[in-house]
């Protein structure tokens, strides 16, 4: 199975190198995006390994990213999350501790924190986003070496979903999947199929040649993992007919499909870690850490 691919850029200040790392356990893709001219890089959506059967955690995936950074002699400027993930733990905090690079996410994460604060009955949770070093708002810009970077709010899958546009590469995570799989679900707490439609349209308004990098791949028909497409490919071939359906048609399709989908198996485990920026719960008096799983919290979810 393919678990790594490098999409090469160039040194003209507009096209980054994008290294994608596929995690077969969670079907997630993590990225190291770097400026070929200066070797400055950002890590996007890193995975902290968690085995729900044994409760074990480890850092295999994150350490693979660090090994690549060291091998390529890159300097990590940012550790970025596109949203609080429902299907894996974030390794953002671990990588911050290892590299010293600041962590960041979208400013609307405070809405997600408030939602899950209520679901977990967690009155002491600080729901101000202070668990990250920086909160991005729509239209914010920053530099990665000589590369121009821009943040687009992309709500719908979650209220806090964002897209990072770095040079000609857009990191869209759970908004668009590969064209043969479609688009992301919108039935998590705070999700909206209407918002997702408009977020997708904003991404499709980018130039045809923009490289799009998604956050998951579920390998339909048993093909090898894939995670790169272009705006033109998505408009012309996405199975959800993004270029010739109306908002109402898309929302009806999305609602129909979402009613059939069971919740991710780690959603209740992962959110309590990820709304803390990837921090595990503090050890209790016996030195052990514990997750809190609310029962019957996600009413109406489909059963497998």
pLDDT digits (tens, 9 = 90+) for 120-172: 999 999 999 999 999 999 999 999 999 999 999 999 999 999 999 999 999 99
Q: Of 66, 29, 33, give the one whose Cα is nearest residue 47.
A: 29
Of 5, 72, 6, the C-alpha closest to 39 is 72
Cα–Cα distance for residue pair 252/240, rounded to 1 Å: 11
| pLDDT at residue 245, rounded to an integer | 92
In this prediction, residue 142 carries a pLDDT of 98
Q: How many CB atoms lie within 10 A of CB 118?
A: 14
Q: Which pTM value belongs to this model?
A: 0.97
Residue 11 pLDDT? 78
pLDDT for 12: 77
pLDDT at 251: 97
Query: What integer is the mean pLDDT of 277-304?
Result: 95
> What domains, with CATH codes, occur in the chain?
15-274 (3.60.15.10)
In which residue are the tokens 């990588």 written?
Answer: 95
pLDDT digits (tens, 9 = 90+) for 9-60: 997 778 999 999 999 999 999 999 999 999 999 999 999 999 999 999 999 9
pLDDT at position 299: 86
Coil/strand/helix, residue 208: coil
Q: What is the mean pLDDT of residues 205-214?
A: 98
The full DSSP string for the chain is: ---EEEE---SSSS--EEEEEEETTTTEEEEEEE-TTT-EEEEESPEEEEETTTTEEE-HHHHHHHHHHHHTT-EEEEEE-SS--SSSEE-HHHHHHHH-PPEEEETTHHHHHHHHHHHTT-TT---SSTTSSEEE-TT-EEEETTEEEEEEE--SSSTT-EEEEETTEEEEESSB--TTT-B----STT--HHHHHHHHHHHHTS-TT-EEEESB---GGGPPP--EEEHHHHHHH-TT-TTT--HHHHHHHHHHHHTTPBPPTTHHHHHHHHTTTSPPPPP-TTS-------TT-STTPBP-
Each residue of 77-117: pLDDT tens digit? 999 999 999 999 999 999 999 999 999 999 999 999 999 99
The 10s digit of each residue's pLDDT in 258-274 is 999 999 999 999 999 99
Per-residue exposure over 64-90, b if at least 16 CB sit within 10 Å of its own CB, e if not: bbbebbeeeebebbbbbbbbbbbbbbb
- Mean pLDDT over the full length of the chain: 97
Percent of the chain with pLDDT over 90: 96
């Amino acid at each position: 199975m393919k678990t790594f691919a490098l999409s090469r850029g160039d040194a003209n200040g507009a096209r980054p190198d994008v290294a994608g790392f596929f995690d077969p356990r969670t079907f997630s893709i993590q990225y190291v995006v770097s400026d070929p001219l200066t070797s400055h890089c950002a890590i996007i959506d890193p995975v902290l390994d968690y085995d729900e059967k044994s409760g074990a955690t480890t850092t295999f995936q994150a350490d693979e990213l660090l090994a690549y950074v060291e091998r390529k002699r890159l300097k990590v400027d940012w550790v970025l999350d596109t949203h609080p993930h429902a299907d894996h733990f974030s390794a953002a905090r671990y990588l911050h501790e290892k590299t010293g690079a600041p962590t960041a996410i979208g400013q609307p994460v405070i809405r997600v924190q408030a939602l899950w604060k209520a679901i977990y009955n967690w009155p002491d949770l600080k729901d101000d986003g202070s668990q990250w070093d920086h909160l991005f708002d729509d239209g914010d810009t920053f530099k990665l070496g000589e590369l121009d970077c821009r943040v687009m709010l992309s709500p719908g899958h979650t209220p806090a979903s964002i897209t990072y546009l770095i040079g000609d590469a857009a990191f869209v995570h759970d908004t668009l999947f590969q064209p043969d799989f479609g688009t992301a679900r919108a039935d998590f707490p705070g999700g909206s199929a209407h918002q997702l439609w408009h977020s997708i349209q904003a991404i499709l308004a980018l130039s045809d040649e923009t490289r799009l990098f998604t956050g998951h791949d579920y390998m339909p028909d048993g093909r090898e993992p894939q995670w790169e497409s272009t705006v033109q490919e998505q408009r012309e071939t996405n199975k959800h007919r993004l270029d010739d359906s109306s908002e109402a048609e898309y929302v009806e399709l999305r609602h129909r499909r979402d009613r059939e989908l069971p919740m991710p198996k780690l959603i209740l485990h992962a959110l309590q870690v990820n709304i803390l920026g990837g921090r595990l719960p503090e050890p209790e008096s016996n030195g052990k850490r514990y997750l809190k799983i609310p029962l019957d919290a996600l009413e109406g979810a489909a059963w497998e």
